[in-house]
Amino acid sequence: MLKTAFSFLLLLACMATAWAQTEVPTAKEPEVLFQGEVNHGFYLAPSLQLTRFHDKSGFMVGGRAAWLMNHKVAIGLAGYGLTTQTNIGEIEETNNAFLQVGYGGALLEYIPEPDKLFHLTFPLMVGLGGAAYTDNFSDNQNTGNYSYEVYDTDAFMVVEPGVQAELNLARFMRLGLTFSYRFTHGVSLPKTSDKDLSTAALTLTAKFGRF
């Protein structure tokens, strides 16, 4: 009996020793997009865009604001507003209506080789916009009547991918020329549809920030 108890205690001691010597597996590190220390930066970028509405050329002004990670990925906001008067002619409320357009949303930009003097970037904007028929504000200014009447409005979704050729002018400044295509969905005005707002655009952008 004593011999059996001693053997049992010896077996328990061996098992405890083996358990103590067993390495506890370390927790597996999760896979992440950015390994190691992340470098942060930012930029602000006023922009001038040449595009077309109703088969007429027009200018939009706007800009971008983005947070940079590891010099290569930018996440931010972008937006544009039409500055050129686009006459669409007669509608039910008036015989001289003008189209106004603005849109904006989230910006994602990938910059594969940011350190090269001349390089490409790939911006993508996804957001919402609005279109409206209004009276001629310039004519109202000439006559001294500063009323601004809106006849009809509509909202739409917009997706605008592009490719940008960018030049590093200084450590804090970059100049880019972007070719993009604007896809719109949901435009339903009497004389304006998605096909009238979905078109190519050429945008000149000056970036200022910490790259």
Within 124-208, residue ranges assigned H as helices are: 137-143, 194-197
Burial category of 102 from C-beta neighbours within 10 Å (exposed 0-12, middle 13-18, buried 19 and up)? middle
Tell me which fold the domain 39-82+103-127+154-210 belongs to: Porin (2.40.160)
Q: How many CB atoms are closer than 10 A to CB 104?
A: 19
User: Please, what are the averages of pLDDT over each run of 10 residues along the chain (211 residues)?
Assistant: 49 51 58 74 98 92 97 96 89 86 97 96 98 74 64 96 97 97 95 94 97 93
SS3 128: strand
- pLDDT given at position 51: 96
Helix, strand or coil for residue 25?
coil
How far apart are the C-alpha atoms of 42 and 210, rounded to whole Å?
5
Strands 86-89 and 97-110: antiparallel
Contact assessment for residue 207 and residue 165, using Cβ atoms and an 8 Å cutoff: no
